[in-house]
Amino acid sequence: MRLPASAALPQLPELVAGQHIDVRLTAPDGYTAVRSYSLASAAPGGVLEITVEELDDGEVSPYLVRGLDVGDRLEIRGPIGGWFVWREEEPAPVQLIAGGSGVVPLMAMIRAHEAAAHPAPFRLLYSVRSPEMAYYRAELEELARVSPRFDLDWVYTRRAPSGWPHAPGRLDVTGLAASVQTLGTSALTFVCGATPFVEFVADALVRAGRDPARIRTERYGGADGA
């Protein structure tokens, strides 16, 4: 979902890649529901973008996906967050590790990094169930093809594309090590996904000797991409 920033939040503070916003819906009977959504873009003065996964039993996502019309009003609070963020002032290489929809805040970082033509290398390790379950697949693959600053690794847990050299399966210690070793131990690492996925990755990185202070995590309660 995309909103012009000035229309969404007239007094919008500076956006930082990795932040999120709270969206509040109020029913005619006064019942309210609030959900947090990571920003998929942090371009200054540009578009406020969130990616909404419709949940069958959701209170908010079905309305945002199917019921929202042009001109409808939303209550938004934010942007929120100052830890799980990437800023242009960061000189170190960056390793991004995502499971399923956990790629959304990392996509904001990737877009900000490319927009700034930042010289530090970025690398994304993205675990998804199958190719069609990947968010931003075309954009990521095109960026990996043309950008000298961005590399992309895929892990398919249930079904891989035809001709893929590896059998589908969950991310393991060997696959994780093969991806992250390229940038070395000085890399700043961001991990986002379902809680079991994030806990596995963070624990494996620390066991491999990575500095916990250089690992930043964000998690949610689902199980996609783990």
pLDDT digits (tens, 9 = 90+) for 22-53: 988 888 888 888 888 899 987 665 567 888 87
Give the SS3 label for residue 141. Answer: helix
51-95: per-residue pLDDT in tens?
887 777 778 887 788 777 777 777 888 888 999 999 999 999 999
Query: How many C-beta neighbours within 10 Å does residue 213 have?
Result: 7
Residues facing 32 on adjacent strands = 26
Please give the Cα distance from 82 to 165 (Å, whole number).
39
pLDDT on residue 147: 95
Per-residue pLDDT at 129 exceeds 60? yes
pLDDT on residue 43: 67
**Amino acid identity of 216?**
R
DSSP 8-state code for residue 71? T
192 contacts: CB under 8 Å, gap ≥ 6: 38, 84, 97, 98, 99, 102, 103, 104, 105, 106, 198, 217, 218, 219
Question: How far does Cα 144 stand from its chain's mean position?
Answer: 16
Q: Residue 74 is encoded by which pair of tokens?
A: 């939303």
Confidence of residue 226 (pLDDT cuts 50, 70, 90): very low
Please give the Cα distance from 214 to 147 (Å, whole number).
25
139 contacts: CB under 8 Å, gap ≥ 6: none
88 contacts: CB under 8 Å, gap ≥ 6: 112, 116, 118
**N-term to C-term CA, the chain:** 25
pLDDT on residue 28: 83
pLDDT on residue 84: 96
Query: pTM value?
Result: 0.89
Strand 215-220 and strand 188-194: the pairing is parallel
- Average pLDDT of the residues in 8-13: 59
pLDDT on residue 46: 58
Any idea which residue has 């996509």 for tokens?
Answer: 107
Query: Please, what are the domains in the chain?
Result: 2-80 (2.40.30.10), 94-220 (3.40.50.80)
Q: Which of 26-30, 115-119, 125-129, 144-148 has the lowest mean pLDDT?
A: 26-30
